[in-house]
Structure 1
Amino acid sequence: MQVEVYFDILCPWCYIGKRRLTTALAGREDAEVVWRSLELDPEGSPTAGPTAAEVIAQYQPSPERAAARVRHIQSLGEAEGVRLDLHKARPVNSFDAHRLVRLGATHGLADDVLERLLHGYHTEGLDIASHEVLEKLGVEAGLEPPAVRRMLEGTEFTEDVRADERSARKRGVRGVPTLVVDGGPPASVIQDPGVLDRLLTPRSHA
């Protein structure tokens, strides 16, 4: 069973969804998870600006509603063992971070690299557009420094990321995190593990 997951490091729901998917797939030796890139803001600045909480507030009718929204997201993260510091995380361009996950995949470390990036951005508030930060996180996830440095200095995996984003449009994937099981219709990952389990089980016997 192949489980493709469209994600962006900037999305707190992706961190929550990754935890829920892990729970749903526990014990399933037949499941292969493939992480697919889908940037929330392809034109995002490489320089950090407002915090994630401030960005959320821009789309809420009042400061009270904004604060409630932030608390809601954080509480869902806490339920999955994830600390989401939306007052520290600052959205930036995530393209090179996606390339780093692709590099991880070639070494069987995609999950480890993505996990380190998510924690670094959402919990530690690190700048994931910084090549220095990306090299540090990639190495901490198990990659060799020369390989990370070479990738960041060049254009390696650029086409892979773009191909993922084209496939998302073709499949009708409009947001993250979204999963596609064995080439089926896209579905949100933000569901209770039990619901995810029901989504996964029928196709595992197809």
Structure 2
Amino acid sequence: MTDAIKIDVWSDIACPWCYIGKRNLESGLAAASTDDDAPVVEVVFHSYELAPDTPVDFDGGETDYLAHHKGIPAEQAREMLDRVTGVAADAGLEYRFDKLKHTNTVKAHQLLHFAKAEGKQPELTERLMSAYFTEGRHLGRDDELVALAADAGLDPEAARDALVSERYLDDVRADQAQAQAYGINGVPFFVIDGKYGVSGAQPAEAFAQIARQVWEERRQVGAAEPEESVA
């Protein structure tokens, strides 16, 4: 049997395009899964902090953040948010920038590595992104993160211990170092099977196409390999 295609995704839970990219990836893979010879895919998320200097408690909304910390004129910032809200809606997501609480995401990334160790990374990634962009939850606070971990099926006390001990911080830094080695300077960024790099929230059709392409390459390589003789 052909090994699963591995898709490594560098993203930040506070990146609006990352959630859109995640949803488009899922939609594309779902479309490819109906093929007669459907690709088998494993998706792994990796840490990337878009704004590591962001305070845990930011005073102001998303427009204020873009205007005061990124130097984007307020009117242009509002237009940007309206545009991304429309793109998110096309992907089936209801962004609520009016409720969003901008915060530092390093603790959320540590919790995602804990979830990976517990076999719950996909569930927690979805829960955190949904909480941040659609529910206005504060993802910089331990109590909020622990509650969301429980929603994703993780043990809340173990999740709290992971946060307090910071034992997954080195894993976060390792992901960031790998991103730097790859030359990644923006997210979402997808590394397909360790050899193809895809930048940005591509349409679902693009993800379906590349999954099919890589799966076909795998199948052709497998067919070309000589069979082992049986004594």
TM-score bracket, shorter-length normalisation: over 0.9
Matching of residue 5 in structure 1 with residue 9 in structure 2: yes
Please, what TM-score do these two structures have when normalized by structure 1? 0.93
Q: 1:79 to 1:201 in 2, by over 3 A?
A: same
2:225 aligned partner: none
Matching of residue 42 in structure 1 with residue 46 in structure 2: no
Report the residue type matching 1:9 in the other structure: I
Question: RMSD of the alignment, in Å?
Answer: 1.6
Alpha-carbon distance in structure 2 between the residues aligned to 1:25 and 1:12: 20
Percent identical:
31
Alpha-carbon distance in structure 2 between the residues aligned to 1:5 and 1:78: 22
- What's the secondary structure of 2:44's corresponding residue? strand
Please, what TM-score do these two structures have when normalized by structure 2? 0.83
1:93 aligned partner: 104
Give matches, 1:149-164, under 5 Å: 149-164=160-175
Report the residue type matching 1:142 in the other structure: G
Cα distance, 1:62 vs structure 2: 5.6
Q: Judge conservation of contact 2:66–2:74 (CA < 8 Å) in 1.
A: no
Which consecutive residues of structure 2, in runs of 5 or more, have no partner in the other structure? 218-231
1:179 aligned partner: 190
Q: Deviations over 1:7-57 (max 9, x none)?
A: 001111111111100011112551000001001112221223332233334
Report the residue type matching 1:11 in the other structure: C
- What's the secondary structure of 2:202's corresponding residue? coil
Q: Deviations over 1:144-199 (max 9, x none)?
A: 11211111110221111111000000011111111000112421241111122223
- What's the secondary structure of 1:186's corresponding residue? strand
Q: Judge conservation of contact 1:172–1:186 (CA < 8 Å) in 2.
A: no
Cα distance, 1:202 vs structure 2: 2.1
Give matches, 1:6-21, under 5 Å: 6-21=10-25
1:55 aligned partner: 65
- What's the secondary structure of 2:149's corresponding residue? helix
Cα distance, 1:93 vs structure 2: 1.0
Q: Which runs of 4+ in 1 moved over 6 A?
A: none
- What's the secondary structure of 1:6's corresponding residue? strand
Matching of residue 196 in structure 1 with residue 207 in structure 2: yes
Aligned residues: 205
Q: Judge conservation of contact 2:39–2:211 (CA < 8 Å) in 1.
A: no
